[in-house]
Amino acid sequence: MTTSNANYVANNLDRFLKNVQKPARYIGGELNSIVKPADSVKTHFALCFPDLYEVGMSNLGIKILYGLMNQRANTYCERVFSPADDFEQILRANNSELFSLETRTPLKNFDVVGFSLGYEMCYSTVLNILDLSNIPFLARDRDDTYPLICGGGVCCFNPEPIADFFDFFMVGDGEDVCNEVLDLLESTKGQSKSSILQELCQIDGVYVPSLYDVEYDGDKLKNFTPKFDYVPQKVRKRNVASMDEAYFPTDSIVPYIETIHDRITLELFRGCTRGCRFCQAGVIGRPVRERSVEILLKQAEECIANTGYDEISLCSLSTSDYTDLDKLCDGLLELTEQRKMNLALPSLRLDNFSMELMQKVQKVRKSGLTFAPEAGTQRLRDCINKNITEDDLMNASKTAFNGGYSGVKLYFMIGLPTETDDDVLGIARLGEKVGEQYFTVPKSIRHKGLRITVSTSTFIPKPHTPFQWSPQISLDETLRRQTLIKHNLTKKFIAYNWHQGEVSALEGVFARGDRRLSQALIRAHQLGCKLDAWTEYFDFSKWQQAFAETGTNVEYYLGERGLEDLLPWDFIDVGVSKNFLQREYTKAVSGKTTPQCRDKCSGCGAFNCKIMESSEAI
Amino acid sequence: MIKLRFKYAKKGPCIWVSHLDILRLWQRTLQRVNADVAYSQGYNPHMQLTFALPIGVGVESSCEMVDIEFNSVDDMLKLSSDIAKTLPKGIEIISVEQPISKFPKFTKARYHCLVKNQAAIGNKVCVSQLLKSLNTQELNVDKTTKKGTTTINVIPHLFEVIINDEGDNISFNLVLSAGNEFNIKPELFLKSITNDEYFIPEIISIKRLEIIT
């Protein structure tokens, strides 16, 4: 039976759900989900996550923005996720549109549709969601009857490949800018889109792509200029000043079905003091901002009472760098032990990993251990400024084996700038050497079943990092280096996992891409690309076809950039200066390390950095 | 140690929540109200919950039961009302009691199914055809599970059936085998009586009314 009613599937959901996998993805109504009368609010906001429900519901950013927006009496924020293919086919077969979970409203009926953009591989899904909503892709094709389409999240630090699809982006910490944007949307309600956008672009952190002209010279970007005087030259990223005062939801939705991160997440701090040269999060998150132990414990207690999860995970770029980690863990363990809950400590650094800490967290249940040496040799680790030695790794492994762990995962990147085959072989050597530490532990102490997992992914140069000018290795080279590792891992106790090189190649193109890529994205969508982070959906040949048909020069996007080049993301001001990035790039090539911020300030230029202020005072 | 038996209904959107997710839903609810639940001993301690009979996805129910072991319970009714307040929409406690014994072995269940007939024939004719077709010793249908497809004779697993013409729809009141050994889902029964000429069912709703030993 077909119908022209766009709401047909939404209104007859029970009839269709028996034929789909995980039907609870589409029902809404979960504990702590928000119900408001949609007609009584001024701004009806569709918060879209361009991936499946169980991924989106694990995302801390979604939880924060959902809670923050719904605190406002005049805003109603609802959730939208990408359907899996089975449900998409039902929508298409019935000429029905995708709908929000809370009130089952099609996207077109919202005032604003906001996408969380956390990963370049979600771009094709953004287009698919727009397509399932009968919303034109290009901002210039959407008149005032369509909602405003906006984006936020880390991809906004180079939003150019998707700039043509969006009315505006919010760059930086969402909770810092969101209220200002919503206030403005309320006060300008009823005005034309162009006049709203004219005012939006004046807000710090808001980028309106249609207000800039771009010009190319061959492959390279030649000019990037504001169209009008009132349009800012640079868009300055937003930063939450105080994590203790920043909004944090302790009554988040508890999904019916199991999600990827099915637990309470506490955010210890944003930013990182370490300065690894490949790491984008470390640069765009500067300066480091910590949340106090008191606030974290209070949040933990409230989260437990409101959600009932059986695990707390600590989230940050480098958990063991948190100033008061011992005090925090003691406090948390008091809460968790009594309730038989698990405490997970991901992102521990090798050089300050302690037996004491490990024993504390494994009192209730033991989870696996992952270390990230990132590169196989000291020379290359110095180049990327990882500042971790082989001794650190061996000591940490020994400690782990002594403490009853028999499995360790090691995470590396291949294709880092200056990497040679000796560095690649170093990955295999390190893996085996970690295994050898196990046999130095007496049989009476060590646990049976030694298992070392070596994982590699391909290094992708990211905007706003010292390696933003570096080339990415080709797909063939990725495969060759993976094979080299495979052939040199001979011990039975080592398993080797590698990240699909094709996905990395694609991610690399979009990470440092420009506006010309929008055509390739549209073509890829037409060919059926979506949910590219899932192996069962990802089809590299379709992407190759899309690039070929749109004349996209993939080699250019993956290639080396000149230090003097105008880069597509240069207009975004992250605080950290291009000058600092260049200094770091030069030091990397000559193998010189840079101390972490707390040891010595390198004057990177981060906004409102307390470390920099105090070191200048000295 | 004290064991409590909660009888509850599963309806609304919650009918789409699987048995395993219902188990986790209860565990979290108990954690939220900070109940003094008894945990199993051992390496991976977990709450002691026993369900009377798992239910399929998409089936509404007014006869779900779970036994939960507590170390201590101050006030059974207060605990039950605390739990009720924090249960998600669609899970509703009907009663709470201290069971005298553990669950018996349930082997059958009673269902009410509401079906719209898509075949181009009047409901009255259809019902009489259906009754005729059920007057047999053998009614085979293919049952597909993870292990593969097998052919099953439904008749020995059908204990009661009342078919009614409800105007727009047809209703079935059924008692079918249920549980670990033989489980005939109402959908499978409807499939077994499907006939291109007079009965092409579109399921409107399935309710489990009772579980039977």
Nearest to A23 among B16, B28, B89 (CB): B16
Cβ neighbours of residue A452 closer than 8 Å, sequence gap 6 or more:
A407, A408, A409, A410, A431, A432, A434, A435, A491, A493, A494, A495
Section A569-593 average pLDDT: 96
- Predicted pLDDT of residue A616: 64
- The chain-wide mean pLDDT, for chain A, equals 94
**Cα separation, A501 vs A577, whole angstroms:** 31
When pLDDT is cut at 50, 70 and 90, the band that residue B101 belongs to is: very high
Burial of A480 (0-12, 13-18, 19+ CB in 10 A): middle
Chain B contact residues (CB < 8 Å to A): 12-18, 21, 24-25, 27-32, 34, 39, 44-45, 57-58, 86-90, 187, 202-205
Boundary of a domain, candidates A236, A264, A280: A236
Cis geometry, peptide bond prior to residue B54 (ω within 30 degrees of 0)? no
Cβ neighbours of residue B105 closer than 8 Å, sequence gap 6 or more:
B179, B213
Question: Domain for residue A228, yes or no?
Answer: yes
In chain B, ranges of CATH 3.30.70.580 domains? 2-97
Q: Are A484 and A472 in contact (CB under 8 A)?
A: no
Nearest to B28 among A27, A29, A308 (CB): A308
β-sheet bridge partners, residue A374: A412
β-sheet bridge partners, residue A301: none
* Residue-wise pLDDT tens digits, B149-195: 999 999 999 999 999 999 999 999 999 999 988 999 999 999 999 99
Chain A residues with beta carbon closer than 8 angstroms to that of B28: 254, 307-310
When pLDDT is cut at 50, 70 and 90, the band that residue A400 belongs to is: confident
Section A122-137 average pLDDT: 98
Question: Domain for residue A65, yes or no?
Answer: yes
**Cα separation, A530 vs A524, whole angstroms:** 8
- Residue A479 contacts B where some CB pair is shorter than 8 Å: no
pLDDT of A359 above 90: no
Segments in A468-558 forming alpha helices (H): 475-488, 501-511, 517-526, 540-549, 554-558
Section A45-59 average pLDDT: 97
- Angle at which helices A123-131 and A517-526 pack, to 10 degrees? 60
Least confident of A60-69, A135-144, A330-339: A330-339
In chain B, ranges of CATH 3.30.70.3190 domains? 108-212
Chain B residues with beta carbon closer than 8 angstroms to that of A306: 32
CATH class of the domain defined by B2-97: alpha beta
Question: Domain for residue A76, yes or no?
Answer: yes
- Predicted pLDDT of residue A366: 56
Section A23-52 average pLDDT: 95
When pLDDT is cut at 50, 70 and 90, the band that residue B108 belongs to is: very high
Predicted structure pTM score: 0.95
A220 backbone dihedrals φ, ψ, rounded to 5°: -85, 155
From the CB of residue A338, how many other CB atoms can be counted at a distance below 10 Å? 9
Boundary of a domain, candidates A213, A236, A259: A236
Question: Domain for residue A303, yes or no?
Answer: no
From the CB of residue A566, how many other CB atoms can be counted at a distance below 10 Å? 15
Contact A29 B13 (CB under 8 A): yes
Contact B88 A306 (CB under 8 A): no
Distance from CA of B21 to the nearest CA of A (A): 6
The encoded tokens of residue A227 equal: 């169209």
Contact B44 A30 (CB under 8 A): no
Question: Domain for residue A506, yes or no?
Answer: no
Section A6-11 average pLDDT: 94
Question: Domain for residue A80, yes or no?
Answer: yes
Question: Domain for residue A457, yes or no?
Answer: no
Question: Domain for residue A507, yes or no?
Answer: no
When pLDDT is cut at 50, 70 and 90, the band that residue A191 belongs to is: very high
Nearest to A308 among B12, B32, B202 (CB): B32
Name which of A32, A252, A256, A310 to mutate to probe chain B: the one with the most chain B Cβ atoms within 10 A of its Cβ. A256
Q: How many domains does chain A have?
A: 2
Contact B58 A23 (CB under 8 A): yes
Q: How many CB pairs under 8 A join A and B?
A: 71
CATH of the domain at A25: 3.40.50.280
Residue-range definition of the domain harbouring residue A213 = 8-236
Beta strand extents in A82-199 (DSSP E only)? 112-116, 148-152, 168-170
Distance from CA of A44 to the nearest CA of B (A): 23
Q: Fill in the amino acid letter for B21.
A: D
Distance from CA of A308 to the nearest CA of B (A): 4
Burial of A505 (0-12, 13-18, 19+ CB in 10 A): buried
Q: Are A213 and A223 in contact (CB under 8 A)?
A: yes
**Cα separation, B190 vs A569, whole angstroms:** 60
The CATH classification number of B108-212 equals: 3.30.70.3190
Boundary of a domain, candidates A204, A236, A268: A236
Distance from CA of A456 to the nearest CA of B (A): 31
* Residue-wise pLDDT tens digits, A544-554: 999 999 999 99
